[in-house]
Structure 1
Amino acid sequence: MLRLNALLAVLLVLCALFVVTARHQARKSFIELQAQQEKARGLDIEWGRLQLEQSTWAMHARIEQVARQHLQMAVPEPKQIHRLNLMHGGAQ
């Protein structure tokens, strides 16, 4: 009977240690999950900001302004525009 009680006591201690370890691991995992969710929210905010910035930089008026001011480009006069008719089978 003494051996059985000792065995049950050892099993009880092992089970208690397992429960403590499992709870600790669950808490660590939950903290990591929260940190990753916060990081994902931050990345979503940054993604939205970058999309807005990209749309601002890609606006037609902005591109035209940069072309005129920095590249000294201008829209050609209609008499300066030449149209080319290309054949669909390659150059002939």
Structure 2
Amino acid sequence: MFRLNLFLLLLIVLCALAVVTSQHRGRKLFQALEAEQEKVRQLDVEYGQLQIEMSTWATHPRVEKIARERLRMVVPAPQAVVPVNLQEAR
């Protein structure tokens, strides 16, 4: 009887340690999950900011200004524009 009680006590202690260990591991994993979700939120904010910045850089007036200043492009005179008929080009 004493051996059975000792065995059961040892089994209970081992089960208790396993429960504590699994709870600790679960909490650590939950903390890691929360940290990764925070990173996702930060990356979403940064992505939104980059999209706004990209749309700002690609506005028509800005592209036209760069074409005139850096590339020295000018709008051709109406007489210099030659329309192309796509039906005849085939």
TM above 0.5, yes or no, is: yes
1:87 is displaced (CA, Å) by 2.7
Distance 1:31 1:86 in 2: 62
TM-score normalised to structure 2 length: 0.91
TM-score normalised to structure 1 length: 0.90
Is residue 5 from structure 1 mapped to residue 28 from structure 2 by the alignment? no
Distance 1:8 1:72 in 2: 89
Task: Give aligned-pair identity as a percent.
Answer: 52
Letter in 2 for 1:16: A
Letter in 1 for 2:20: V
1:73 is displaced (CA, Å) by 0.5
Letter in 2 for 1:10: L
Q: Which residue of 1 aligns with 2:35?
A: 35
Letter in 2 for 1:18: A
Distance 2:55 2:86 in 1: 34
SS at match of 1:75: coil
List 4+ stretches of structure 1 deviating above 6 A. none
The C-alpha deviation readout for 1:58-84, integer Å capped at 9, x for no partner, is 100000000000000111111111011
1:86 is displaced (CA, Å) by 2.4
Letter in 2 for 1:61: P
Q: Which residue of 2 aligns with 1:57?
A: 57
Ranges in structure 2 where 5+ consecutive residues have no aligned partner: none
Is residue 83 from structure 1 mapped to residue 80 from structure 2 by the alignment? no
The C-alpha deviation readout for 1:16-65, integer Å capped at 9, x for no partner, is 11111111101101110111011111101110110110010010000000
